[in-house]
Structures are given as C-alpha cells and as structure tokens.
Amino acid sequence: MPHPRPALLLLLLLLTSAACAQKTVDTQQLGWVRYHLRLPLQGPYALRQELEERAYWFPWRQHQLVSRSVIERRLGRDWNAGLGLTVFRQSLPHDPHAVITQTRTEVRPMLELAGLQPLNDKLALHHRYWAELRYFGGTDGGLSFANYRFRYRLELRYRPHPEWQLRAFDEIMVNAGRQVVANTFDQNRYGGSLQYQFSKQVGAELGYLRWFQQRSSGDEFYDRHIVRLTLHHQLPAPRRD
C-alpha cells in the first residue's frame, strides 16, 4: 500500500508556518488524562473505547470531555479499518480565564484506515488516515452539520525493549465543506511520548503534544501545549468453545 512522502508533509508544515506569520496567536497550557480500552471480538474484529478529560492548567478549568468508540477490522497483518463515533462536551468559551457560559455538544462519525510499516526489528512507521463529519448541538437540542475534516498522522515508533516504546508523531488536519471559508487548514499536532507495559493487559503512556489550530476567522490561532497521560487496557480475546 503506498504511503505519503515525508517531503509532502514537511512542505505543508513550511507553508503553514509562513501563512501564520504576523497573526494573532492565543497560547494555552492543558493537561489530558485518557483511558484507552481495547476488547478483541470474534474473528478479525475488535472494539476500542476511549474516555478523556481535557482541562486547562493555568488556571484549572475544564476544556473538553471526550468519548470515542470504534469498531475495527483487521485487513491483514499490519493494517486495519475502523468505523466509529466521537462525542465531545465542550466548555465555552475556549478561554481558561473566562467563566463557563455554555456547554456545547459535538458529534463526529468517523472512518479510519491505519497500518504499520516495519523498518527493522525495533523501528516502525505507523500511518493513520481519518475522515470525520462534524455535527454541533444547538440550543434546541438538535444537531446541525458543520463540515468534513480529513486527518493524516505519521508516527515513528521505537521499541528498545519489549516493555518500553518511544513514539514521535506529526498530524495534519484539513477542513472541507460549504461553511469553510478562511480555515481550510485546520490544525497541526506534533509531539512524542514514552509508553511502559506493566503487563500484556496494562500499560501507561506519558507524552507531550503541541496543538496549533487556525480558527474560522483565518487570522487567529490557538497554540496549545499539552501534557497527556494515558492508561492502556487490553482485555483478553474471547474464548472459543
């Protein structure tokens, strides 16, 4: 299966940096705590469930509460496809110094294609493609469609020991749809993490994520520095009678 050239990703980053010069940038610090559960099902299927609390640190205030459910299917040894739904509860405005005046719901049906490209016994590249439909809740309790979003993440994984894994990644997101006028580029996220496996079922991951996002105005940006702690939980495969 073909993979995007790293040079193309670098070109997108350089163009983004040039476009963001002399713009209004709002810098924020956040902490994310995530629980990631994976449950193998019958045959090539598995269920993934994530719960994540996202909060500002300075000062402390809730930013988002996220729930993501994905049914995935193996396509081969190193590739899988997934169909999922993500639900957000967002505390508005997006300002840690402001009093929360509104809680807004966002719902995202999504498609996923992901695969591992081994480079040697310890090093591998992981490719992840996402397509999302974004719906926002209104005051009447209903949902209205906002836009499409397409995401590509390239992640380098290094495992020096069976219990340890180092990761470095970069992800680009772009918007599409009639309501997208000034922010076709949505955001760039990059960072790294260190994961330790206590056992085959339980692991912990600590990482840093930088989230640079263009707002709908086109000349305003969020620059978010995030520390993320994840608990990974792998349940055993169902028994075959």
pLDDT digits (tens, 9 = 90+) for 12-63: 555 555 454 557 899 999 999 999 999 999 899 999 999 999 999 989 999 9
User: CA triplet 231, 45, 33: central angle to 5 degrees?
Assistant: 15
Model confidence, pTM: 0.87
Q: Can you give the CATH number for the domain in which 41 is found? A: 2.40.160.40
Whether residue 2 is contained in a domain is answered as no
Decide if 1 is inside a domain: no
Average the pLDDT over each of 19-23, 77-81, 188-192 and give the range with the smallest value. Answer: 19-23
| CA neighbor of 186 nearest in space, from 136, 221, 159, 161 | 221
Q: Which domain holds residue 208?
A: 26-234
**Cβ count within 10 A of residue 138:** 11
What pLDDT, on a 0 to 100 scale, did the predictor assign at position 1?
46
Residue 100's contacts (CB-CB under 8 Å, 6 or more residues apart) are 61, 62, 91, 92
HSE, CB side, 13 Å, CA atoms: give it for residue 33.
5
Label the pairing between strands 45-56 and 143-161. unpaired
69 Cβ contact list (under 8 Å, min separation 6): 47, 48, 49, 50, 84, 85, 86
Domain count, the chain: 1
